[in-house]
Chain A
Amino acid sequence: MNNSYLIKTERLKKIYPMGPTTLVALEGVNLIFKKGEFSGLVGPSGSGKTTLLNIIGTLDSPSQGSADVMGRKVETLSHKSAAQLRNQHIGFIFQTFNLLPVYTVFENVEFPLLLQNMATSERKKLVMEALEWVGLADRAQSKPAQLSGGQSQRVAIARAIVKKPELVIADEPTANLDAENSHHIMKTMVQLNKGLDTTFIFATHDEKVMHYLKRKISLNDGRVEKDEILEREMWK
Chain B
Amino acid sequence: MMIHKLAFKNIYRAGLRTWLNVIALSFSFVAIIFLQGLYNGMNDQIEKATLDAQYGGGQYWQNDYDPYDPLTLEDAHAKIPDDLQKLIEQKKATPILIRQATIYPNNRFQNALLKGIDPGQTILSIPTQVLISSDETIPALIGSRMAKSSGLKIGDYVTLRWRDANGTFDADEVKIVQIMNTDVSDIDNGQLWIPIEKMREMTAMPNEATIIVLEKSSPFSERVDNWQYKDLEFLMQDLRALFLTKSIGGSIFYIVLLLLAMLAIFDTQILSIFRRRKEMGTLMALGMTRSKLIQLFTLEGAMHAVLAAVVAAVYGIPLLIYVASTGYGLPEATDSYGFAMGDRIFPAFTAGLIIGTTLLVLIVTTIVSYLPTRKIAKLKPTDALRGKLT
Contacts and interface: CB of A to CB of B under 8 A. Distances in A.
A98 B278 contact: yes
B385 A98 contact: yes
Contact of A92 (B9, B279, B286, B289): B286
B380 A86 contact: no
Interface stretch (A52-60, A130-138, A172-180, A196-204): A52-60
B380 A59 contact: yes
A101 B287 CA distance: 18
Centre residue among A83, A85, A88, A115 by max chain B CB count within 10 A: A83
Contacts of A101: 279
A2 interface: no
A34 interface: no
Contacts of A115: 2, 286-288, 292
Interface string B5-25: 010011001100000000000
Given A98-B278, A102-B10, A57 B286 contact: no
A33 interface: no
B284 A83 contact: yes
Contacts of B10: 102
Nearest to A61: B380
Interface string B224-248: 0000000000000000000000000
A40 B287 CA distance: 23
Contact of A79 (B6, B282, B290): B290
Report the interface size class on chain A.
20 to 34
Given A59-B381, A59-B382, A98-B282, A87 B287 contact: yes
Interface in B362-385: 380-382, 385
A87 B382 contact: no
B285 A59 contact: yes
A61 to B, nearest CB: 8
Contacts of A98: 278-279, 281-282, 285, 385
Given A100-B279, A114-B2, A57 B9 contact: no
Nearest to B1: A117
A156 to B, nearest CB: 10
A102 B380 contact: no
Interface in B251-278: 278
A17 B2 CA distance: 38
Given A102-B13, A103-B9, A114-B6, A83 B288 contact: yes
Interface in A56-110: 57, 59-60, 79-80, 83-88, 92, 94, 98, 100-103, 107
Give the interface residue-count category, chain B: 20 to 34
Given A59-B380, A59-B382, A86 B6 contact: no
A114 B283 CA distance: 12
A98 B2 CA distance: 21
A125 B281 CA distance: 27
Nearest to B384: A59
A112 interface: yes
B381 A100 contact: no
Given A79-B289, A117-B2, A94 B385 contact: yes
A28 B2 CA distance: 42
A80 B289 contact: yes
Contacts of B278: 98
A107 B6 CA distance: 10
A133 to B, nearest CB: 18
B287 A83 contact: yes
Given A60-B380, A107-B9, 18 more contacts: A59-B284, A60-B381, A79-B289, A80-B291, A83-B289, A84-B287, A84-B289, A87-B286, A87-B287, A87-B288, A88-B287, A94-B385, A98-B281, A100-B279, A100-B283, A111-B286, A112-B286, A114-B2
30 contacts: A54-B382, A59-B285, A59-B385, A60-B380, A60-B382, A79-B290, A80-B290, A83-B284, A83-B288, A84-B287, A84-B289, A85-B287, A86-B286, A86-B287, A87-B288, A88-B287, A92-B285, A94-B282, A98-B279, A98-B282, A100-B283, A101-B279, A102-B10, A102-B14, A107-B9, A111-B286, A112-B287, A115-B286, A115-B288, A115-B292
Interface of A: 54, 57, 59-60, 79-80, 83-88, 92, 94, 98, 100-103, 107, 111-112, 114-115, 117, 159
Q: For the complex of A and B, list the 7 residue pairs with the smallest distance between their C-beta atoms, beginning with the closest.
A: A87-B287, A102-B13, A98-B282, A59-B381, A86-B287, A83-B289, A60-B382
